[in-house]
Amino acid sequence: MPTYLVTGAAGFIGANYVHLLLEWEPGAEVVAVDYIGFAGNLANVDAVIDRITFEKADIADFEVMEALYRRYRPDYVVNFAAESHNDRAILGPSSFMRSNALGAQVMAECSRLVPVRSHVHVSTIEVYGELAEGDKWFTERSALNAKTPYSAAKAAGDQMVRAYMQTYPEIDIRMTHCANNYGPFQLPEKLIPLAVTNVLHGKKVPVYGDGLQRRDWLHVADHCAAVHRVLHAELDAIPAAAATDPGLLPIFDVSARFEVTNIDIAAMAVTALGLNPDEWITHVPDRPNHDRRYLINPDKIESQLGWAPTHDFATGIAETVAWYVEHRMWWEQIIADKGELGVDWSQVGQAAAPR
Ligand SMILES: NC(=O)c1ccc[n+]([C@@H]2O[C@H](COP(=O)([O-])OP(=O)(O)OC[C@H]3O[C@@H](n4cnc5c(N)ncnc54)[C@H](O)[C@@H]3O)[C@@H](O)[C@H]2O)c1
């Protein structure tokens, strides 16, 4: 049976991937790596902990990661590990640069020195920046134009992975850019779980600014299936023309083409709890440099790899809200351990710190 090395495995998407991987391939050897940073939570893989090997390790630490590669000799590598919260990146960008940029390079370097069958670097729609009014969507050919500390650190990692793809074509390294994910195990400070957990605590749901920022949403299980499809796809060698055409690199944009405003998402979550959004949503000052809109086109992964999303949003959000209602102990523990994020954005240029 193949060995998978999955990083960021105690985070939201990585944990969902580990659960799904063990359903898809019950005999797979899974080495789950996470340094248990702010978003890491071993409870996310508790249900499968006796079926995986967990290694607490920092992907930006080359010696440690190279030793893990040599010990386990993974066939497949999926790098989900990243610092991922835009708000926290504004408060302290340095850890984002380390995990998202240096970490991406260290992982690629390990796959260069200790060959694997394939390696997927998981990235985000946000590296493309903000979509101009009138533009329909980004594609794999769009320029990287990240503008926030989180997305800029991810874009730095992406650039390095693209350099590895083209400089060392013998390493089979692929990349995905995904839309916003929703589903179980997401940290309670992210929009959908925040809406549910606040309401269940009797508090209103804070929405930044006018709430009209538009986001492209995909169920986490659809994202995991896309990553798995990319990992296992039979791909042609990178053609020379990719030097000037990034659309020819093994990069796949992943989306359900489902665009909604933040305020509508908050309203859907409140409605799913049987309450009136007008009474439960409050507007709070926007964070600085907040992207207004982004959307990506998944034509390439659909036409070349036959992937398509299977979760309809209305059902998906109702099930997700129900999951948070049913798993109250899981998120109450996180809030008790980590507190709630509350920021005075007027101080951000100085020394903003979570309250
Ligand atoms: N959440 C989304 O909507 C979304 C959308 C598109 C892409 N992505 C990408 O998917 C990946 C996973 O996102 P997520 O939402 O699960 O994030 P998350 O913050 O919930 O989980 C990330 C995990 O990575 C771990 N980690 C961070 N730095 C590490 C390091 N240096 N070494 C080892 N572990 C480290 C954290 O402890 C955490 O458990 C990220 O690369 C993110 O950029 C996320």
> Residue 175: beta bridge partners?
121, 251
Any ligand 1 atom below 6 A from CB of 126: no
pLDDT at 285: 75
Any ligand 1 atom below 6 A from CB of 309: no
Nearest CA to ligand 1 atom 26: 81
The whole model's pTM is what? 0.95
How far, in Å, from the CA of 259 to the mean position of ligand 1?
A: 22
Nearest CA to ligand 1 atom 11: 80
Distance CA 121, CA 185 (A): 21
Distance CA 339, CA 322 (A): 23
Task: Please answer whether residues 316 and 310 qualify as being in contact, where contact means their C-beta atoms are separated by less than 8 angstroms.
Answer: no
For the chain, the structural domain boundaries read: 3-183+217-257+289-311
The answer regarding whether domain 3-183+217-257+289-311 maps to CATH 3.40.710.10 reads no
pLDDT at 348: 63
Q: Mean pLDDT per 10-residue run, the chain (355 residues)?
A: 97 98 98 96 97 98 98 98 89 94 98 98 96 91 95 98 96 97 94 94 90 90 98 97 97 95 93 93 80 88 98 95 97 89 60 49
Q: Could you tell me if residue 296 is left (phi over 0), alpha (psi between -120 and 50 degrees) or otherwise beta?
A: beta
